[in-house]
């Protein structure tokens, strides 16, 4: 059984309060992790503040070398890490392996490009004056991340935060504490100095304690409601905040597209990670002329997916992460059916897999915006499909949501693609592609999907303050706008 401790000031510490981490495929207890409270969080923030002064004095090239070693350590331990991800949150091993390799790629990207992204700009003013900008670390960053990508999401914030000269207090999800603990071990193995990275496991109260602490910034990924509470709790101290929140992304298919490619993309996009992805297509809209064919093909592909324990290499769909997540999903499906939606396939617990939190991928049609599956985030393996008549209707339907994370458009017509990408109200648009991320490209949404960016040059600059420096090199003893004003008559 795994034994979880807290990483504070370079030392692994135990505590009296513990909580269980479960294998969602079996319901078995994997281990017990520490439930950090106010005292432990306060200590972690204190040592992070002390470490930040010396960490920031280290040349950025040296900091980048240390962060690059984190990427190397991820690859060295990839077999162990992917198995840990799979048993703690249920994802198939194939997807866990991709998460490890992609995380390493992102960490190394920031290590290689961070120095360039943090070089200030010269700003010419006039013959006597010039200005320049400096990027300086915020200080101590509290990083709170969810369970659905327990390695990727923390490290795509930890890496730029460290390179920028900040120190970190990281609070992983209470559903995946041991992946979070592994991140702390990897950072230590890579040579991150004591106190620069601290890991406090726990529940929602632990997160609230971190937000209420003497922190300088909060980087959060999770639900929109929790993001709003973080904003409220950060108001008194004016913490810097970066929020990547929920989504209800549209997947829009026009009749001129390659329908087989669109179906394949939609099935993978919606059901990868058991549908527990903020950026996955939650609402699928198909042009009338091909709607029946699309639905038929989508249902057929869905029914071919293999449901099972993520440790089995043949598994396509693992369990949901927890009993509560599955129950929430079931309530959303029941609401839709009660209000007139039809289930084309799935939508129940598989009889052959009773011990874990499994749910057969479902396809719903006949949906309306009176149903929660259309106006709330659906975080599980449920796809909803409806038809549209023309482009204007597609735009209106896609934008009929409080969320604004991403969208996917499928068409061979570049004019349609460009018009759609300009009129969809979201932070990211894919054309003939779905759910791909590249370290070079910004990631983030608008509206209730959050604020700030991850990845790219924009992502690393979330973790710095911009200082303007102005220098006057002239010899004038006064200025025309200085006192006394009477001389101007």
Asked if the structure places residue 438 within a domain, the reply is no
How many whole angstroms from its chain centre is CA 317?
Answer: 21
User: 152-163 vs 177-189: helix axis angle to the nearest 10?
Assistant: 40
Asked if residue 253 and residue 226 are part of one domain, the reply reads no
Residue corresponding to tokens 């632990």: 206
Q: Are 191 and 181 in contact (CB under 8 A)?
A: no
pLDDT at 488: 72
Same-domain check for residues 231 and 292: no
Is residue 132 classed exposed, middle or buried when 0-12, 13-18 and 19+ CB atoms within 10 A define those classes? middle
Same domain, 201 and 288: no
Residues 143 and 187: their CA atoms lie apart, in Å, by 15
Coil, helix or strand at residue 335: helix
pLDDT of residue 19: 97
State residue 235 phi and psi, 5-degree precision.
Answer: -60, -45
Tally of CB atoms within 10 A around 17: 12
Within 8 A by CB and 6+ apart from 256, the residues are 411, 412, 413, 416
Per-position pLDDT tens, the chain of length 489: 899 999 999 999 999 999 999 999 999 999 999 999 999 999 999 999 999 999 999 999 999 999 999 999 999 999 999 999 999 999 999 999 999 999 999 999 999 999 999 999 999 999 899 999 999 999 999 999 999 999 999 999 999 999 999 999 999 999 999 999 999 999 999 999 999 999 999 999 999 999 999 999 999 999 999 999 999 999 888 999 999 999 999 999 999 999 999 999 999 999 999 999 999 999 999 999 999 999 999 999 999 999 999 999 999 999 999 999 999 999 999 999 999 999 999 999 999 998 999 999 999 999 999 999 999 999 999 999 999 999 999 999 999 999 999 999 999 999 999 999 999 999 999 999 999 999 999 999 999 999 999 999 999 999 999 999 999 999 999 998 999 988 776
- Identify the DSSP state of 239: -
Pair 238, 341 in one domain: no
Q: Does the residue 406 lie in any domain?
A: yes
Rounded Cα distance between 307 and 146, Å, is 23
Residues 257 and 319 in one domain: yes
Place of tokens 């009749």: 255
- Reading the block at residue 416, the tokens are 């349609």
Same domain, 336 and 403: yes
CATH of the domain at 48: 3.40.605.10
What are the beta bridge partners of residue 2?
31
Q: Which residues are catalytic?
A: 244, 278
CB 7 within 8 A of CB 178: no
In what order do the strands lie in the sheet containing 122-124?
Answer: 122-124, 129-137, 464-472
Q: Which two tokens mark 40? A: 């432990």
The whole-number pLDDT of residue 170 equals 98
Q: How many domains does the chain contain in total?
A: 2
Q: Is residue 280 domain-shared with residue 353, that is, in the same domain? A: yes
Phi, psi angle pair for 108, to nearest 5°: -70, -30
Q: Tell me whether residue 65 is in a domain.
A: yes
Give the C-alpha distances (Å, rounded to integers) separating 295 from 28, 266, 283, 383: 37, 11, 13, 11
- Measured torsion, CA atoms of residues 332, 333, 335, 336, in degrees rounded to the nearest 10: 120
Same domain (yes/no): 267, 298: yes
Number of other residues whose CB lies within 10 A of the CB of residue 340: 11
Q: Which domain holds residue 75?
A: 2-245+449-470
Q: Examine residue 379 and state whether it is found in any structural domain, yes or no.
A: yes
Does residue 436 sit within a domain? no
**CA atoms of 425 and 189, how far apart (whole Å):** 43
Residues 432 and 263: beta-carbon distance below 8 Å: no
- Do residues 276 and 155 both lie within one domain? no
Using an 8 Å Cβ cutoff, are 407 and 306 in contact? no
Q: Residue 303: which CATH number?
A: 3.40.309.10
**Same domain for 265 and 169?**
no
Residue 255 belongs to some domain of the structure:
yes
How many whole angstroms separate alpha carbon 429 and alpha carbon 427? 7
Placement of tokens 């810097």 in the chain: 240
- Angle (CA) 150 433 247, round 5°: 50
Query: Looking at residue 486, what is its pLDDT?
Result: 84
Return the sign of the alpha-carbon dihedral for residues 376, 381, 386, 388.
positive
Within a domain: 487: no
Instruction: Please write the tens of the pLDDT for every residue from 415-427.
Output: 999 999 999 999 9
d(CA 18, CA 40): 13
* Model pLDDT, residue 400: 97
- At which residue do the structure tokens 């319901």 appear? 27
482, part of any domain: no
Same domain, 215 and 362: no
d(CA 444, CA 453) in angstroms, rounded, equals: 5
DSSP letter at 193? Answer: P
Q: What is the pLDDT of residues 98-126, one digit of tens each?
A: 999 999 999 999 999 999 999 999 999 99
Distance CA 322, CA 383 (A): 20
Euclidean distance between CA atoms 357 and 324, whole angstroms: 9
Q: Please, are residues 33 and 21 in contact by the beta-carbon 8 Å criterion?
A: yes
Residues 352 and 213 in one domain: no
């Amino acid at each position: 059984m795994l034994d979880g401790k807290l990483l504070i000031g370079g030392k692994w510490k135990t505590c009296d309060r513990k909580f269980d981490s479960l294998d969602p495929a079996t319901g078995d207890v994997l281990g017990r992790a520490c439930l950090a409270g106010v005292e432990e969080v306060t200590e972690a923030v204190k040592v992070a503040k002390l470490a930040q002064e010396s960490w920031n004095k280290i040349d950025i090239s040296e900091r980048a070398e240390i962060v690059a070693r984190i990427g190397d350590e991820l690859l060295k331990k990839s077999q162990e890490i992917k198995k840990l991800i799979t048993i703690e949150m249920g994802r198939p091993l194939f997807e866990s392996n991709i998460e490890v390799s992609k995380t390493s790629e992102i960490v190394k990207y920031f290590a290689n490009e961070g120095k360039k992204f943090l070089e200030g700009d010269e700003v010419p003013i006039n013959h006597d004056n010039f200005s320049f900008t400096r990027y300086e670390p915020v200080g101590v960053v509290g990083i709170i991340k969810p369970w659905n990508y327990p390695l990727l999401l923390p490290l795509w914030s930890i890496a730029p935060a460290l390179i920028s000269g900040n120190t970190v207090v990281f609070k992983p999800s209470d559903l995946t504490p041991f992946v979070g603990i592994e991140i702390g071990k990897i950072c230590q193995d890579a040579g991150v100095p004591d106190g620069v990275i601290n890991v406090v496991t726990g529940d929602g109260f632990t997160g609230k304690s971190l937000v209420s602490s003497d922190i300088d910034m909060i980087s959060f990924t999770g639900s929109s409601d929790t993001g709003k509470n973080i904003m409220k709790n950060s108001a008194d101290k004016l913490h810097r905040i970066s929020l990547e929140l929920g989504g209800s992304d549209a997947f829009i298919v026009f009749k001129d597209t390659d329908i087989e490619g669109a179906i394949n993309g939609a099935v993978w996009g919606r059901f990868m990670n058991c549908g527990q992805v903020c950026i996955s297509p939650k609402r699928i809209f198909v042009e009338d002329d091909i709607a029946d064919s699309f639905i038929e093909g989508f249902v057929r592909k869905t029914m071919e997916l293999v449901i099972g324990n993520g440790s089995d290499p043949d598994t396509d769909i693992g369990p949901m992460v927890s009993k509560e997540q599955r129950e929430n999903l079931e309530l959303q499906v029941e609401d839709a059916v009660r209000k007139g939606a039809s289930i084309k396939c799935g939508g129940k617990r598989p009889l052959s897999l009773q011990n874990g939190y499994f749910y057969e991928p479902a396809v719903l049609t006949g949906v309306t915006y009176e149903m929660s599956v259309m106006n709330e985030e659906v975080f599980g393996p449920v796809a909803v499909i409806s038809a549209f008549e023309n482009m204007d209707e597609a735009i209106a339907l896609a934008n009929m949501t409080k969320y604004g994370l991403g969208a996917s458009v499928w068409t061979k017509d570049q004019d349609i693609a460009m018009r759609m990408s300009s009129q969809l109200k979201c932070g990211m648009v894919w054309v003939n592609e779905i759910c791909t991320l590249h370290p070079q490209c910004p990631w983030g949404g608008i509206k209730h999907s959050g604020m700030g960016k991850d990845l790219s040059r924009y992502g690393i600059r979330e973790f710095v303050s911009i200082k303007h420096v102005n220098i006057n090199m002239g010899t004038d003893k006064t200025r025309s706008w200085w006192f006394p004003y009477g001389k101007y008559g």
